[in-house]
Chain A
């Protein structure tokens, strides 16, 4: 939500008369901009004496076809105000109707986050004046019956330990419109395409379990993974469809009371989440060390400068005058509905990773990379079930296929190599039809043409050379280098590598290294 700075302070200076006569929608241009005190220089000393606590608020736009309460399309981009209707413009006489899929996605997410589900859930109006929603209020869920309560996310730290981050609520609300930039116009211009898009809010519990910038990043990454697996969100932080808003505070080691927290915005990558919190914690510590007080305020992360910038000071707690939304009837869930939702949940990333390690004997790091994208994890399992060697398939996906896919700027699963043909490729290597070196070339060809591995091998004649052919090549190389052979016979075994290299060059990768070793040894003995 966007709020006019110091609106509370300024409100009293306007008279009702202004409201009626103002040529624009509402009258207030705050006449008293806040006097902001620039903070002390950032603390660069030890942070050892301070503890950091971070409350995490995340908003995710839900992956629905239509908006929360109307049939306008839920999409990104496009010309301003081309996805609006009487409902999302808040015109009189309209009534909101819940989007079933939006409700379903929040229920699924809440279940994936191990929440209790409120079997009867109600919606509220959050009233405020900033015109990012034309109705003058946002439909949200307040109080103790949001769709999900008391959940958790387990994060896995760099040292391999896991930590449980408790979640206090998962609720459903609607997104707001955006102001189109209009510097120098003297007014703002609103685009309501995003107004009414279903939005899910996920809030961690208090006192916060997240106690460092790194844990905050891990939490955000894990949560995003869950949202992608559930299919609730596309997780695009750079487009703002997933918005991570941490509330960091610091306190001296040994003190009970939590410090004043600030709210961080504009974090549009995981890196920004970590760097932003690190910076903000240091800035707060610097203020405390300088004898100042940390103000309850919103700071924006400036990724280019690597600093947090004060956006607005919260002088008083905002008063949103929440009340139950009279236009919306409570939602009651049948126990069978919840069980259907629970049964439809996919295996989540952390469980999948552990299973890949135990079932396919993959290294933890490889398994973690594979499961970080559900489509890639599914691609992997399909290749393995098509008869691919688990370790080899993982190596091809994490190596060559990742390289080819990122070069083409597409997902692995979106390319022309199918899980079945990748499995076939690993089999041709395993049964000695081709060498690993040749397999790389075959895969590149498969990536370009979409052929099967065997088709490429046959078309380009890439089968491993038979022992006779390799023996011929070896004989020719030995005959061409009598001086080297003499050196080897004289006891300098190391130079055999040169002869081996010559044979490999001749074979263009189509000879098996152990064949060359054996035949070369024979040929030298006979020479």
Chain B
């Protein structure tokens, strides 16, 4: 049976940039193990003859013609940002240390 330990859950939280309290960690560890138990049940099915799939729909992609069309006007594009810098004409994001 597959299980996760509290430190696994903490690591997943860290990947999502979420710091978890001990209470949250305990609750989520239980919930994730419940989910995994369901997958173990699914694992009991014999799928030896079924090819692996990466997508739920059995179709293949249609491709798009390579034609450039007008983009959004900049003010419209920037209007979706929670903070923008009108002088530089860009979206404001947290400062990064290294590039």
Contacts and interface: CB of A to CB of B under 8 A. Distances in A.
A328 B69 contact: no
Interface in A68-101: 71-74, 79-86, 89, 91, 97-101
Given A11-B14, A81-B74, A122 B93 contact: no
14 contacts: A4-B94, A11-B17, A14-B19, A28-B94, A29-B95, A72-B71, A79-B89, A80-B74, A84-B77, A85-B72, A98-B63, A185-B85, A321-B15, A329-B57
B18 A65 contact: no
A324 B67 contact: no
Nearest to B11: A319
Interface stretch (A18-26, A156-164, A358-366, A430-438): A18-26
B73 to A, nearest CB: 8
Given A12-B10, A30-B97, 19 more contacts: A2-B96, A11-B17, A11-B19, A14-B17, A14-B19, A71-B67, A73-B68, A98-B62, A101-B66, A120-B60, A179-B99, A186-B95, A187-B94, A189-B90, A319-B15, A326-B56, A329-B60, A330-B55, A330-B60
The 3 residue pairs across chains A and B that have the minimum distance between CB atoms: A100-B63, A189-B90, A101-B66
A82 B66 contact: no
Given A321-B15, A326-B55, A330-B54, A66 B91 contact: no
Contacts of A235: none
B55 A187 contact: no
A52 B14 CA distance: 36
Nearest to A2: B99
Interface residues of B, number: 42
- The interface residues of chain B, by DSSP majority, are classed as loop
Interface of A: 2-5, 8, 11-16, 19, 23-30, 33, 64-66, 71-74, 79-86, 89, 91, 97-103, 120, 122, 129-131, 134, 179-180, 182, 185-192, 298, 311-312, 319, 321, 324, 326, 328-332
Nearest to B61: A329
Contacts, number: 181
A98 B71 contact: no
A515 B96 CA distance: 76
Interface of B: 10, 14-15, 17-19, 54-57, 59-69, 71-72, 74, 77-78, 80, 82-83, 85, 88-99
Contacts of B85: 182, 185, 189
A329 B59 contact: yes
A120 B97 CA distance: 40
B60 A190 contact: no
A102 B74 CA distance: 26
- The interface residues of chain A, by DSSP majority, are classed as loop
Contacts of B63: 97-100, 103, 331
A204 to B, nearest CB: 25
Contacts of B94: 4, 24-29, 131, 187-188
A81 B13 CA distance: 32
B61 A328 contact: yes
B71 A82 contact: yes
Contacts of B56: 326
Contacts of B97: 4-5, 30, 33, 312
Contact of B88 (A86, A182, A312): A182
A89 B77 contact: yes
Nearest to B78: A81
B67 A97 contact: no
Contacts of A120: 60
